[in-house]
Amino acid sequence: MLHRSMQARAACFAGSITFSLVALLAAPAAAQATTSDTAGVTQIIDSFGDGVEPLIVPGDVDVDRIGNVYVTSAATNTAFRISPGGHIETIIDISGDGVNQLIAPLGIAVDDTGNVYVSGSFSDNVFKITPAGVITQIIDSGGDGLGNLLLGAGDVTVDSNGNVFVIGADSSSAFRISPAGVVTKIIDGTGDGFGHALIAPLGIAVDHLGVAYVAGFVSDNAFRIETNGTITQIIDAGGDGVGNALLSPYGIAVDLDRNVYVAGNGTDNVFRIAPGGNVFQVLDATGNGSGHTIDAPIGVAVDHLGNLFVTGTNSSNAFCVTPGLVAVQVVDTAGDGLGNVLLNPEDIAVDGAGNVYVAGGFTSNVFRLDAPTGWTDLGHATTGTHGEPRLTTAGTLNTHTVAWLNLANLRPSQPAVLGFSTAVATTPAFGGITKPATPWDGLLMCVTDPVGEVHMPLLDVPAALSGTTLVFQAFQLDPGHFSGVVMSNAVRGDAP
């Protein structure tokens, strides 16, 4: 069935829409950009944070299904949400839940229903923040309450069933917290219990079956923890066993085929461990082999197409490694090329549309690297009460894929209309230019949220549209424009 949050947003759709609402949340068909000159780079937050709370030393970054980005600020004891329209807000600060404080947050993760989880590395705890803003501490330094402590809470992740996983760097442990609040220790310093210890874990990941993976920074290894509690060491300091060692593993990720990726911070490399146990080095210090090297990788992420993304902290860059093992630098110290630079990136995340998010540790900012999706901005916005309404997109306009239309800078809590057509035109109207050809093929009716934004999914565009074009433009009644109507920019989507 359609996810409940999707159902709620889909209620914005008018009856004239020809798109079917199906529960198909598959990856886009278009591959992620693998050259830096084809991926637009945009700074989405800087050290000013939300204008009240600053962003200093971002520790972790994650993104939800509709493109909200979440980032922790370790030095200011806060975490932020950045909406697709660019609205920035603090979702938790040092006050935590009002009783238990949040100090030096590092890990952040978001589940399928929009709940956010933030770990406090100095406060030794994890908080849950609901979409409504309700904050609850779900684990503290007491760990499971059976003598297994959580100390130095760091990386956090969540599975499809809502189980939260967090590592304790200082307690050399990891825990699972069920949606009902049951806390279970899944691994401790004894590792697999057969002489392979776990010391100072810094990274944790979980696959679609609920199997967890933990990387030991000091013990130079990584473990797989099955749902039944069976623990297996899947890589150690020997790396691939043919001369490529693994030292100080940090970031860890797992793809849809359950291949695990581990970054060797001390050996400047990344390994892939197949489910059957085969270990293969997919990236080394030479980076792309053509002058763009990687030094001290930390963050790793993998998209639905099997593209691997890795940050080089000391080299101040990030790479994409394709399934065919082609490595390409996708961002470097130049950042967005507009003066907003990237220094010492740590965490990296990728959304379902293939957009990549990189947090700059020394520059206290986050960049978005846009995936090619077949969308073109046609311009022609007019200025209203809140400036120019902005229409942006996420995802690819094709069958069995979720594409999103995101609106910003409109009047809050007011109706708006998106007109769409299968052809482009230039028609004077409302003191500006409309780009969808008239008569329009349909209307999308919606109401903006309290900050003047709308996020609409277009699910399962019919196969009959393959090779055709859809043009969208938004309109809203607005006394701030002399015509009484304000218009967004138009966007054109070309279905593959």
Question: Other C-beta atoms within 10 Å of 162: how many?
Answer: 15
Tokens of 202: 């810094």
Radius of gyration of the chain (CA): 23
Q: Is the backbone of residue 30 left (phi > 0), alpha (psi -120 to 50) or beta? A: beta
CA dihedral 183, 188, 191, 195 (to 10 degrees): -140
Q: Where does the pLDDT of residue 264 fall: very low under 50, low under 70, confident under 90, or very high at 90 and above?
A: very high
Return the pLDDT at 27.
24
Least confident of 32-41, 114-123, 385-394, 432-441: 32-41
Tokens 């894929």 belong to: 401
Return the pLDDT at 405.
84
Of residues 132 and 468, which shows the higher confidence score? 132
Rounded to whole angstroms, the Cα distance separating 395 from 353 reads 4
Return the pLDDT at 441.
85
176 in Cβ contact with 159 (< 8 Å): no
Residue 38 has pLDDT above 60, yes or no: no
Q: Where does the pLDDT of residue 30 fall: very low under 50, low under 70, confident under 90, or very high at 90 and above?
A: very low
Tokens of 257: 């085929």
pLDDT in tens, 143-152: 999 999 999 9
Rounded to whole angstroms, the Cα distance separating 480 from 262 reads 53
Residue 6 has pLDDT above 50, yes or no: no
Q: Where does the pLDDT of residue 3 fall: very low under 50, low under 70, confident under 90, or very high at 90 and above?
A: very low
User: Facing residues of 223 across strands?
Assistant: 214, 233
Rounded to whole angstroms, the Cα distance separating 225 from 315 reads 32
Q: Chain-wide mean pLDDT for the chain? A: 87
CA dihedral 176, 177, 183, 185 (to 10 degrees): 10
Q: Where does the pLDDT of residue 2 fall: very low under 50, low under 70, confident under 90, or very high at 90 and above?
A: very low
Return the pLDDT at 13.
24
Rounded to whole angstroms, the Cα distance separating 303 from 376 reads 23
Return the pLDDT at 105.
98
Of residues 18 and 167, which shows the higher confidence score? 167
pLDDT in tens, 362-409: 999 999 998 766 677 888 999 999 999 999 877 666 544 556 788 999
Q: What is the distance between the terminal CA atoms of the chain, rounded to a whole angstrom?
A: 26
Residue 11: φ, ψ to 5°: -65, -15
Residue 107 has pLDDT above 80, yes or no: yes
Which 3-state string (H, E, C) describes the chain?
CCCHHHHHHHCCCCCCCCCCCCCCCCCCCCCCCCCCCCCCEEEEECCCCCCCCCCCCEEEEEECCCCCEEEEEHHHCEEEEECCCCCEEEEECCCCCCCCCCCCEEEEEECCCCCEEEEECCCCEEEEECCCCCEEEEECCCCCCCCCCCCCEEEEEECCCCCEEEEECCCCEEEEECCCCCEEEEECCCCCCCCCCCCCEEEEEECCCCCEEEEECCCCEEEEECCCCCEEEEECCCCCCCCCCCCCEEEEEECCCCCEEEEECCCCEEEEECCCCCEEEEECCCCCCCCCCCCCEEEEEECCCCCEEEEECCCCEEEEECCCCCEEEEECCCCCCCCCCCCCEEEEEECCCCCEEEEECCCCEEEEECCCCCEEEEECCCCECCECCEEEEECCCCCCCEEEEEEECCCCCCEEEEEEECCEEEEEECCEEEEECCCCCEEEEEECCCCCCEEEEEECCCHHHCCCEEEEEEEEECCCCCCCEEEEEEEEEECC
Mean pLDDT of 259-281: 97
pLDDT in tens, 320-331: 998 888 888 999
Least confident of 199-213, 261-275, 293-307, 402-416: 402-416
Of residues 249 and 405, which shows the higher confidence score? 249
Mean pLDDT of 69-94: 96
pTM score, whole prediction? 0.76
Tokens of 149: 């402590």
Mean pLDDT of 240-245: 97
Tokens of 384: 């209203």
Mean pLDDT of 109-114: 94
